[in-house]
Chains A and B, each alone.
Chain A
Amino acid sequence: MKDRTKYFAYPYVLWMIIFIALPSFLVLLYSITTKESNGLTTIQFTLENYKKFFDPLYLNILWDSIYLAAISTVICLLIGYPAAFIISNTNLSKRNTLLFLCIMPMWMNMLLRTYAWMTILGNNGILNNLFSLIGLPKLNMLYTKGATIMGMVYNFLPFMILPIYTALSKMDKALLEAADDLGADKKTVFIKVILPLSMPGVISGIIMVFMPAVSTFIIPQLLGGNKNMMIGNLVEKLFILNGDWNFGSAISIVMMVIILISMSIMNKFDVDKEGGARLW
C-alpha cells in the first residue's frame, strides 16, 4: 500500500509557501529594485541598495551590533553553562523546579520585562536607592551600552541554558563512570568527556542567543536610550520612518546571509553528528 499520510503535509506546505517562501521572496525582490518601482510595468532592477550598505556609516552599525551581540553571547555562555551543569546534576524533583524557574520569566511579555528593568536601573530606580541606602554613590546605569548588554543577557539566557541542559542530561552516565574507573580525576573527566559531549548543546545555545541578539531593536531602544544604533534599529527606521523598504530589505538579506554563513561554520565544529540538541 502506498503511504498516503504524506497528503497531510500539503496544508503545511501551503502554509510555508504563503508565510515563509513568499515573504522571503518579496524581501529579496524589494532589495534588488528601486524605490520608484510601483508594479510589474515600472519595475527597475538595481544593486544600488547593496552598494549603499558598504558605506562605512552602515558597516559601523553592523560591526557594533555584532560586537554587542557577541559580548552578550559570551556572557550568556559563562552564566548558562554552569547553570545547566548544576541543574542537570540535581535530583529529579529539584531539577524540575529549577527548570521551571528558568522558563517562567518567558511567560511574561518581553516588552513588559524590559520596561521593568527601566525601573530597576533608573537614576532613582530600585538599585540606586539600594546603593544610597548603604552609603554608595549613585551610578548612571540606564541608557548605557552596559544596560543594553544586560537586557540581552537577561532576555536570551534561557535559550542558552535549555539546549546545554538537554545535551548534558541525556549524556550516558556510564561513560563518566568508565572514565572514573580508568583513573581520570574530576577535572579530566570534565574536559575530556563532559565538555566534548555537550558541545552540540553549546553550539545550539550560541546560535539561539546570537541570532536574536544581533537583530534586536527594542532592547537598545528602551535600555540603551537609542544612543547606539544597532542593525535592527536601522531596519526598523528604514521601514517605519523613511519608507525606504528597498534598502531595509537589502540589509535584511545581508543579515540573513551572515547568519547562514556563521551557522554553517558553527556546524563544522560539531563533530557529533547524532547530537540530539542540534537545531538543524
Chain B
Amino acid sequence: MVKKIFLIVMVLLMLFTVAGCGSTEKEVLSILNYDIYIDRDLLKEFEKENNVKIKYDTYSTPEEMYIKAKAGATSYDLIISSEYMIERMINEGMVNKLNFDNIPNYKYIDEDFKNHPYDPNNEYSVPYFWGTLGILYNKNTVDASSESWAMLWDENHSQRIIMMDSQRDSFAAALKLLGYSLNTVNEKELDEAKELLLQQKPLVMAYITDGAPDIMVNEEADMALVWSGEAVSAMAENENLGFVIPKEGSNIWIDAMFIPSTSKNQPLAEKFINFLCSIEATLRNINEVWYSTVHTEAKKQVDEELLNNPAFNIPDEDIEKMEMFRDPKEFIDLYTERWTEIAAQ
C-alpha cells in the first residue's frame, strides 16, 4: 500500500513538473523581438514603473518569428518584426487592430513611414526602425567607385566576400543586379538570379546572418552584404570600413510593433508601444541598434557624426530607388527551393 501511494505521488510530481511553471501574481507582458534590437535596460525600467513582469524572447529571421508566433507555445502580447511578414500575418488574421488613444506618442512617427502597403490604413502597426541593404567594404582593399551590386561578383576578392544566409536578401542583390524587381514572381527571372548566385558561390567566403560585422571589423574579409545598422556599428569600431548602397537600387525595410491576436493584455502592450515611442526611449534604442529612426523628434537630437553617416541618415536619392519586400505568398516556395539548390551545390 505504501508503495502504491509512493508511486502515485511520484507520478503526480512528474505531471506537475511537466504541466508547468506556476503563475505569478504580477501582470505579464510577453514580447518577441529580433536579437539585439532594444536597449534591455528599458525593459527593466518599464517593469519597475508599471509593476509588471516582462517575458522577453528573441528570434533571428522573420520566418522564425512567424513559426514561433503560430506554434502558439507562448501567447505573445507584442511582436516586433519586418513589414512583409506583418503583411502576411495581417492577411491571415493573426494581428489585432490597435487602439491609438493609448499610444499618444504615435504623433512623433514620421509620416513617410505611415500608409505603406503592408498596413495601408495604419490600423495594425507602429513603425520601430527602418533601414536598407548594402555593401560594407574595406576602403583599403576595395574600389567602391562602381557603386554596383557587381562588386559582390568581383573575382579579385575571391574568398573575401560574405553573403547573407537569408534567401530574400541574397536574392535581392542578384535580382537588382539583373535589373529586376526584388519581389519578382517570374520564374525565369528567379532562375537567372539563381544562376548568378551559383556563379558567385566559389567567390564567397561564407553565408552568415549574424557576425558579418565582426568579421569586417577584424578585416578578415573585404566585403559583406549587410543591413545598414550593422554597417553603422561596424564603422564606429573600424574607420577603414565604408558603406555603399548600390546604384541599381536596394531594399527598404520597416520593422514595426504589432499586437498578435493571441495577446491577453492588449492595453498593457499598447502602453509599452507608447513607452518605446517616447523621445528618450527612442534615443537610447538608437544608441543600441544603430538603425535609422522613424522618430521625428529623436532624429533632431542624435549626434552630428551619426547624421553624417550615409548608413544612418540614408540620402533621399538612394531612397527613391529602393523597393520594399512584399509577401510573395505561395511563390515563396520557389525562392526557398532555389536557395536550397544553391546551398546544396
Chain A interfacial positions (CB closer than 8 Å to B): 4, 7-8, 10-11, 14-15, 18, 57-58, 60-61, 64, 122-125, 140, 142-143, 225-227, 229, 233-234, 237, 239-243
Contact = CB atoms under 8 A, between A and B. Distances in A.
Contacts of A140: 159
Contact of A243 (B4, B11, B14, B66): B66
B18 interface: yes
A227 B201 CA distance: 8
A226 B206 contact: yes
A4 B4 CA distance: 10
Contacts of A64: 344
Contact of A242 (B7, B14, B336): B336
20 contacts: A7-B4, A10-B7, A11-B7, A14-B11, A57-B340, A61-B344, A122-B215, A124-B218, A124-B220, A142-B206, A143-B205, A225-B204, A225-B208, A229-B344, A234-B340, A240-B64, A241-B63, A241-B64, A241-B336, A243-B67
B187 interface: no
B343 A124 contact: no
Contacts of B344: 57-58, 60-61, 64, 229
8 closest A-B pairs by CB: A225-B206, A226-B207, A229-B343, A123-B220, A143-B206, A241-B63, A11-B10, A226-B165
Contacts of B336: 241-242
Given A57-B340, A240-B67, A225 B61 contact: no
Given A10-B7, A15-B14, A226-B165, A57 B341 contact: yes
Interface in B285-330: none
A225 to B, nearest CB: 3
A257 B206 CA distance: 32
B78 to A, nearest CB: 21
Interface of B: 3-4, 7, 10-11, 14, 18, 61, 63-64, 66-67, 70, 159, 165, 201, 204-208, 215, 218-221, 336, 340-341, 343-344
A225 B205 contact: yes
A124 B10 CA distance: 56
Given A11-B10, A237-B340, A240-B63, A227 B206 contact: yes
A8 B218 CA distance: 58
Contacts, number: 72
B14 A7 contact: no
* Most chain A CB inside 10 Å of its own CB: which residue of B14, B201, B219: B14
Given A57-B344, A61-B344, A226-B343, A122 B218 contact: yes
A201 to B, nearest CB: 36
Contacts of A10: 7, 10-11
Contacts of A18: 18
A225 B343 CA distance: 11
B82 to A, nearest CB: 14
Given A11-B11, A61-B344, A140-B159, 4 more contacts: A10-B11, A11-B10, A57-B344, A143-B205
Contacts of A122: 215, 218, 220
A7 B206 contact: no
* Most chain B CB inside 10 Å of its own CB: which residue of A58, A229, A241, A243: A241
A234 B342 CA distance: 12
A225 B4 CA distance: 55
B220 A243 contact: no
A230 B27 CA distance: 44
A216 B344 CA distance: 16
A219 B325 CA distance: 31
Contacts of A8: 7
Given A11-B10, A14-B11, A227 B207 contact: yes
A234 B207 CA distance: 15
A15 to B, nearest CB: 7
Nearest to B333: A242
Contacts of B208: 225-226
B217 to A, nearest CB: 11
Contact of B3 (A4, A123, A237): A4
Contacts of B64: 240-241
Contacts of B11: 10-11, 14
Given A226-B165, A241-B64, A123 B221 contact: yes
B66 to A, nearest CB: 7
A227 B340 CA distance: 11
A8 B208 CA distance: 49
Contacts of B207: 225-227
